[in-house]
Structure 1
Amino acid sequence: MSEQKESENNLNPDKPKKKKFTMPHIYVILFIFIILASIATYFIPAGMYDRVPGPEGRETIDPNSFQHVEQTPIGIIDFMTAIPRGLIEAGEIVFFTFIIGGLFAVIKKTGLIEIGVDKLTRRFSHNSIMVIPVLFILFATICGLIGTQELSLVYVPVMLPLMIALGYDSIVAAGVALLGTAAGFTTGFLNPVNTGLGQKISGLPVFSGIELRLIAFVVFIAIGLTYLLRYAQKVKKNPKASLVYEDDTEKRKQYLEKSETGSPRKANTRQKIASVFILLFFCLLIYGVITQGWFMIEMAGLFILMGVAVGRISGLNFTEICEGFNDGFREVLIGAFIIGVARAVAVVMEDGMVMDTIVNSLGSLVGELPAVFGAIGMAVVQMLFNFLVPSGSGQALVTMPIMAPLSDLIGVTRQTAVLAYQFGDGIGNLLYPTSGYFMATIALAGVSWEKWVRFYLPLFFMWFGAAVVILIIAQVIQWT
């Protein structure tokens, strides 16, 4: 039968072929979201909560102050300027992405990345798969302690050449960084960004209930790591099974072929000194993040100094360093721009004053659920809201003042409500194109959003299933 169909097609070459569905460009998808958000401002009643001082001097909402206000739907000028304003509001992460790209392009020019990759590739050539669990668990633990998912942006430029040289692909490189940090951030056993802040707002002792969070941490790592290892082994066995096989062609030429030929690469004296300085800079970075509250602006400033210092010590002149930064800027340009376009969705919702109305409605919806499903409903609501406000701390300040007292009314402990927020926030971060650090990370890895979604979606449902089971257990034991 198939031969007959093939002969018919050969006899009728002009016969139109069925067009295969292709995912629209990410700009198109985000633009559609902006249009839908703008239309929604005409139909969703405008409303607002009063803002009051919250933990650590941050502004939060008064959960009892919601009131409807005059409708302010998005006009032509507001719609027209949404993307530029999105870029301005997301400026911190946009420029952080540029600086990260520039820094690693400079380090690449020094030859240090190639030397490091060559050494690691030769060391793990007979057991390359072990690199993945070691780094995955390390990244998860770091994020479980300090909660900085944005460090994925630092990890990926190092992971990419290593994973390609070991015979894997760009998705494995991005997966080690993103899935590892997501597992640690989502369960956040000592994470001040989501766990600590969520508990402060909910009136709970900070980092209480750590035992169940540690169990969740192990469960999420086990599921995520198993999933990534299976994909990595499949790619290692058959490179054409990679979702990004065509996209990685140039990377394979650059890293894989070089690692398979030639004698071991050795660092000269200047490069050895520069390597020590890189280590010192990263120690300073960790110190600043943990003890001084450094975030993207401070880290970006440090990375500029790091690029200049390491470049000069390695023997690059100032022109070469500047060109290195320019090369890096070009490599991450699309990813950085996507971050600003994605932010435009929230800009439109805030301008139309419907963001608080959505929060109030979602909270009311959870309040209608039976107690046994209350915590699950909270996780779903947090996940939906995460599309609009992908910032963990930002989401906590908006939703937890509502969810904490609501949990008392529906028979869910406040500890469980915080965990539901963590699950809803963390899992969605690696799916939504409005998540800035995530889009920037896959841009650095050279992985399109559509292909990442094809890879991540099965794991998303696995992790959500695990979250549901853990929340049910927390509800049954009335975890406090």
Structure 2
Amino acid sequence: MKGNETKKRKFQMPHIYVILFVLSAIAAILTYIIPAGKFERVPGPEGRTTIDPNSFSGVEQTPVGIVDFLTVIPRGLIDAGEVVFFTFIIGGMFMVLRHTGIIEIAVDKLTRKFSNKSLMLIPILTTVFAVIATVIGTPELSLVYIPVIMPLMIALGYDSLVAAAIALCGTVIGFAAGVLNPINTGLAQKISGIPVFSGIGFRLIIFVVIVLAAVFYIMRYAKKVKQNPLNSLVYEDDQEKREQYQDQDQVEEKHMNTRQKYASIAAFIFFGILVYGVVGQGWFMVEMAGLFIIMGIVVGIIAGLTLTEICEGFNQGFRDVLMGAMIVGIARAVAVVMEDGQIMDTIVHGLGSAVNELPPVLGAVGMYFVQLIINFFIPSGSGQALVTMPIMAPLSDIIGVTRQTAILAFQLGDGFAHILYPTSGYFMAALSIAGVQYQKWIRFFFPLFLILAGISVVSLIIAQVIQWS
């Protein structure tokens, strides 16, 4: 028995804090090894700053010393402050909604309605989230979706991983395919000098294929959990949630009182304002966080909560997402180290140069893997486009890859990795809100990631063979 316990400890994954700290330390060591370099920054599309691809030059080495390294995590938290505080606010707001009772009542009604056809909710919700993301380009909305659908998925006999997968996979797939996504497709096409949203037909085909792949993968896991809850990767973690939300059919049906009905109407109005702000006014996390604060207060008062109860609801929600908020800032420390050591541009330049040695078909695939690697260091669609596409677009002309294909390599290499790498801030915050450990998410998602990577490679080969433009 002791031998078995020792063996289990030996193969246990380290805590995510440890993983991120080690990555930051490795990045600091690399600042002594990788030569420092820099591209000149120039004005780009829509007032953004991009790089001059022909301006790379070596600069004086600025390695990150021990004293500087001591500050990278606090500075990472400061740099990622927008995501950190958004995570706190959304956690607090949804806890206030739970205290009003309207979430539990809505879950009770939906559970009874879909009890015999619950599996169909997975393709419906995944597709809806994917369509929204492929049009407006905001995978960060998964932070909003997860707490909404989590109680329903638990009540229907699934687990928190299913809820997280529907939201995260749906949004990131839509974002990666970028059918009409201004954040990655539109910006990359502007930088590359080709008509914005051209080539929509092929991207639409890719969108359908990867949505189907994800839906079938999630449904397969969900069916196993439904048949036997012990098959869940998060069975023990979900114990409290199951006690709270399951067995709805064995208790008396819940009904809203008058104040709760008005509170529900107010909540829907606020979500309508959220959609209008994101789609029509370009709102992002700061604006959404402000709206959620007002939403929690107004809906709570209408439902009959006292101001003290509302404040305590926010506090409880803050505590529940504390670790996720901290992870966001610690993950940002990796990029802070590389920026201080001025090796980010050197890495991008070196990877871009490596693709130059490949034949056209392999060059397209090589661009995909380059973008996949760079996404670890620059976990932002628009940020990666502004840094890499000024290099990849002219490089594609040299090696015989169409610019449309080079943009697709960027989209697919950037997209799916958003929910793989721990350096992706919003992703780590989403896992915290879902109550899913990063290690368990990787066990669930990595096989699907390999499937999506295979689809990506095949798509790029086809695009290059047909000279997609």
**Residue in 2 aligned with 1:131?**
121
Residue 289 of structure 1 and its aligned partner are, at CA, apart by 1.1
SS in 2 for 1:429: helix
Question: Would the alpha carbon gap of residues 308 and 42 (structure 1) be closer, same or farther in structure 2, given more than 3 Å must change?
Answer: same
Match of 2:152 among 151, 154, 162: 162
Aligned residue type for 2:189: Q
Counterparts of 1:457 and 1:392, CA distance in 2: 21
Quote the residue 1:5 is aligned against: none
Residue in 1 aligned with 2:445? 456
Name the amino acid aligned to 2:280: T
Change (3 A) 1:275 1:477: same
- In the alignment, what sits opposite 1:337? 326
Per-residue deviation, 1:346 = 0.3
Quote how far apart the aligned CAs of 1:275 are: 1.2
Deviates more, 1:261-270 or 1:234-243: 261-270
State the distance in 2 between where 1:322 and 1:337 align: 21
Structure 1 residue 458: Cα displacement: 0.3
**Unmatched 5+ residue regions in structure 2?**
none
For 2:148 and 2:7, how far apart are their aligned partners in 1? 39
* Paired residues of 2:159 and 2:234 also in contact (CA < 8 A): yes
TM-aligned CA deviation for residue 15 of structure 1: 6.7
What's the CA shift string for 1:119-145, capped at 9, x where partnerless? 100000111111111111110101011
Counterpart check, 1:28 vs 2:14: no
Partners of 2:453 and 2:103 lie apart in 1 by: 37
For the 8 Å contact 2:40–2:51, the answer to whether it is kept is yes
Paired with 1:194 and 1:77, the residues of 2 have a C-alpha distance of 37
Post-superposition shift, 1:16? 7.9
Specify whether residues 17 and 326 from structure 1 end up closer, same or farther in structure 2 by C-alpha distance, changes over 3 A only: closer
Task: Give the aligned residue type for 1:449.
Answer: Y
CA distance in 1, matches of 2:66, 2:21: 15
Supply the distance in 2 between the matched residues of 1:190 and 1:309 (Cα, whole angstroms): 35
Supply the RMSD in Å over aligned alpha carbons: 1.0
- Separation of aligned partners in 2, 1:355 and 1:17: 42
2:275 equivalent among 266, 286, 289: 286
Match of 1:399 among 375, 388, 396: 388
After the TM superposition, which parts of structure 1 deviate over 2 Å for at least 4 consecutive aligned residues? 13-18
Aligned to 2:210: 220
SS of 1:346's equivalent?
helix
Letter in 1 for 2:7: K
Q: Does 1:75 align with 2:65?
A: yes
- Provide the aligned length of Structure 1 versus Structure 2: 467
% identical aligned pairs = 66
TM superposition shift of 1:19: 1.5
Q: Which residue matches 1:62?
A: 52
CA deviation string 1:445-476 (max 9, x = no partner): 10000000000000000000001111111000
Tell me what 1:19 maps to: 7
The alignment status of 1:249 with 2:239, answered yes or no, reads: yes
Cα distance, 1:427 vs structure 2? 1.1
What residue is the counterpart of 2:219 in the other structure? 229
By how many angstroms is 1:14 displaced? Answer: 7.2
* Per-residue deviation, 1:260: 3.3
Instruction: Tell me, in whole angstroms, the C-alpha distance in 1 between the residues paired with 2:312 and 2:59.
Output: 52
1:17 deviates by 5.9
**Structure 1: distance between partners of 2:241 and 2:124:** 23
C-alpha contact 2:112 2:249 (8 A) present in aligned 1: no
- Give runs of aligned pairs for residues 48-59 of structure 1, distance below 5 A: 48-59=38-49
Report what 1:6 is aligned to: none
Query: 1:339 Cα deviation (Å)?
Result: 0.5
- Matched position secondary structure for 2:42: strand
1:269 to 253, 258, 275: 258
Question: Hey, what's the Cα distance between the residues in 1 that align with 2:121 and 2:312?
Answer: 32
Partner of 1:325: 314
Change beyond 3 A, Cα 1:291–1:71: same
Partner-residue secondary structure (3-state), 2:212 = helix
Q: 1:421 and 2:414 equivalent?
A: no
Cα distance between partner residues in 2 of 1:99 and 1:248:
23
Aligned to 1:112: 102
